[in-house]
Structure 1
Amino acid sequence: MKPIQSVMITGANAGLGREAARQLAMRNGIEKIYLACRNQEKADAAKAALEAETGKRIFEVIPMDVSSPMSVRAAVGKMAAPVDALILNAGGTGGKTPHALTQVGVTHIFAANVLGHVVLVDELLERQLITSTVLYAGSEAARGIPKMGVAKPDMRTSSTEEFVSIADGSKFGPKADPLDIYGTIKLTAAMWMGAMARQHPHIRFVTMSPGGTTGTNGMDDLPFLKKVFFKYVGGTLMPLFGMMHSVETGAKRYVEGLLNDRFESGHFYASREGSPTGPVVDQAKIDASLANTQFQDNAFQAVRRFAA
């Protein structure tokens, strides 16, 4: 594996992205960290705080809204030097209008979690601006977490058309719960990553779930009662039952997935079966369909329809 000296992190101004930036800055050999964020003011504040906390002046803000392919392409167009590694961390539950369609025909929740990252990787590869590793923030929701009431995604055929229906929201309808959609979207991305690993063998493509993590901002746009439960009540109680862990622990998964070559390209790593915390394992050992290359290629073909 090529030594990693520079890293770009999407959604890096808060939560897991910011903590991953802090942890990477403390690793020997990391010389540059790009904070790709949609809000300039929050990004600048995060940069200043990270410099104060780490004593390093290696952070640079890149304005980028991953829910907008135009914003992503504009940001990459301004890059003067390649980056060794990329952490695709930005996402969430799609804002106030998760089911609304963007100009390219995907839902807001799909755009934020998947499409913008697909465009980002494509642009970096086309311009030869990525040299080593792409890490996508997966989720145990992609194979279900029964203990937390998160059902396994209802995939009937895993055809290209079914993955298209996930992207444009027609699989779910306009009143579906964003939390129910989230796992299916994360599954789509994990399958896309598997296809990318086979198509670009010179780059590592690792899907790594940060696990059930307290204090993240991904739930901020949920309905009030659900937000209160997942961010505050659940964030206090669930760690006591081993159902959540700290942001530091979640971000450490990113860092290890990025820097430790025992995590193989094309594989999806997350917690053991039935849990959102604890040691990570290859998820194909839990659900063999995750390693199905035809399903992976179908997901790839589906997202290509919107990323062109």
Structure 2
Amino acid sequence: MKPIQTVLITGANAGLGREAARQLAMRNGVEKIYLACRNQAKAEAARNALETETGRKMFEIVLMDVTAPETVRAAVAALTTPIDAVVLNAGGTGGQKPNALTNEGVTTIFATNVLGHIVLVNELMSRQLITSTVLYASSEAARGIPKMGMQRPDLASGSPEEFESIANGNKFGPEGDPMQTYGYVKLAATLWMGAMARKHPHVRFVSMSPGGTAGTAGFDDLPFLKRVIFKHVGGVLMPLFGMMHSVETGAKRYVDGLFNPEFETGHFYASKAGYPTGALVDQVSIDATFADTTTQDNASDAMMRFA
């Protein structure tokens, strides 16, 4: 595996993305970190703070909005040198209108978590601009966390048509619950990563859940009651019951996924069954779907239709 010296992180101005940038900057050998953000002012504020905290001027801003593929393509077109690793961190529950359709015909929640990252990787791969590792921020929601109200995503057939219905929202309808949809879109993207690992064996494709992480912005746009439960009540009580850990712990999972070769390409690592925190385990031991190559290919083929 080629040494990782340069890393691009999406959603890098806050939460897990920003903390991952900080931790990576403290590692020997890392020379440049691209902060991929959609807002110039927030990106500049994050860069300035990171330079102060780490004592290193190694952060470069890349403007892109993962819900708008044209901005992703433009950002990649402006790159002039290869990047060793990419952390596909941006995500969440899709804003105030998670089920609204984008210009590409997918829901906002799908665009935020999946489509923009597919476009980013496709563009980088087509220009031979990734040399080592792609890490996708998956979630235990992809195999369900019933204790947190996230049931296991139920695939009826795992066909391309079913994955297409996940992307365009037809599986859930216009009033679909974003907390449940979130698990399906994370599942779809994790399966895509498995297909990519087989298609591009010279690059590592690792799906890594940061776990239940307190203080992140991913659930800021939930309806009021759910937002209060997850961000305020949950932020106090869930850590006591082992259901949330710190942003530092979540970001460290990203860093470990990039640098520890024990995390194998095409695999999905997350917490043990029933929990979003604790020791990492290969999720195929919980749900064999993650290693099913036909389902992986069906997910990938369906989602590529929108890219």
TM over 0.5, yes or no? Answer: yes
Match of 1:304 in 2: 304
- In 2, the alpha carbon distance for the partners of 1:101 and 1:146 equals 28
- In 2, the alpha carbon distance for the partners of 1:300 and 1:149 equals 27
Matched residue type, 2:227? K
Matched residue type, 2:181? I
Give the C-alpha shift of residue 225 in structure 1. 1.3
Match of 1:115 in 2: 115
Give the C-alpha shift of residue 22 in structure 1. 0.2
Paired residues for 1:145-156 under 5 Å: 145-156=145-156
Match of 1:185 in 2: 185
- In 1, the alpha carbon distance for the partners of 2:212 and 2:93 equals 15
Give the C-alpha shift of residue 149 in structure 1. 1.7
Q: Deviations over 1:206-226 (max 9, x none)?
A: 000000000000011111111
Paired residues for 1:50-69 under 5 Å: 50-69=50-69
Give the C-alpha shift of residue 176 in structure 1. 1.1
Paired residues for 1:157-172 under 5 Å: 157-172=157-172
Q: Deviations over 1:186-230 (max 9, x none)?
A: 000000000000000000000000000000000111111111111
Q: Deviations over 1:155-198 (max 9, x none)?
A: 11011000000000000001111001000000000000000000
- In 1, the alpha carbon distance for the partners of 2:224 and 2:251 equals 26
Give the C-alpha shift of residue 65 in structure 1. 0.3
Q: Deviations over 1:32-70 (max 9, x none)?
A: 000000011000000000000000110000001011110
- In 2, the alpha carbon distance for the partners of 1:168 and 1:148 equals 25
Deviates more, 1:147-156 or 1:116-125: 147-156
Match of 1:176 in 2: 176
Q: Secondary structure at the match of 2:98?
A: coil
- In 2, the alpha carbon distance for the partners of 1:95 and 1:286 equals 30
Match of 2:224 in 1: 224
Match of 2:90 in 1: 90
- Whether 1:271 and 2:271 are equivalent positions in the alignment is yes
- In 2, the alpha carbon distance for the partners of 1:280 and 1:224 equals 32
- Whether 1:243 and 2:248 are equivalent positions in the alignment is no
Q: Deviations over 1:201-260 (max 9, x none)?
A: 000000000000000000111111111111111011000011100000000000000111
Q: Secondary structure at the match of 1:52?
A: helix
Q: TM-score, length-normalised on structure 2?
A: 0.99
- In 2, the alpha carbon distance for the partners of 1:147 and 1:98 equals 23
Match of 1:21 in 2: 21
Matched residue type, 1:208? M
Match of 1:132 in 2: 132
Match of 2:35 in 1: 35
Deviates more, 1:95-104 or 1:31-40: 95-104
Q: Deviations over 1:89-138 (max 9, x none)?
A: 00111111111111110001000100000000000000111100000000
What is the aligned-residue identity percentage? 71
- In 2, the alpha carbon distance for the partners of 1:99 and 1:147 equals 25
- In 2, the alpha carbon distance for the partners of 1:220 and 1:246 equals 17
- Find runs of 4+ consecutive structure 1 residues off by over 4 angstroms: none
What is the Cα-based RMSD across aligned positions, in Å?
Answer: 0.5
Match of 1:203 in 2: 203
- In 2, the alpha carbon distance for the partners of 1:281 and 1:300 equals 24
Q: Secondary structure at the match of 1:306?
A: coil
- In 2, the alpha carbon distance for the partners of 1:176 and 1:264 equals 34
- In 2, the alpha carbon distance for the partners of 1:56 and 1:179 equals 38
Q: Secondary structure at the match of 1:270?
A: strand
Matched residue type, 2:209? S
Report the number of matched residues.
307
Match of 2:12 in 1: 12
Structure 2 unaligned segments of length 5 or more: list them: none
- In 2, the alpha carbon distance for the partners of 1:120 and 1:225 equals 34
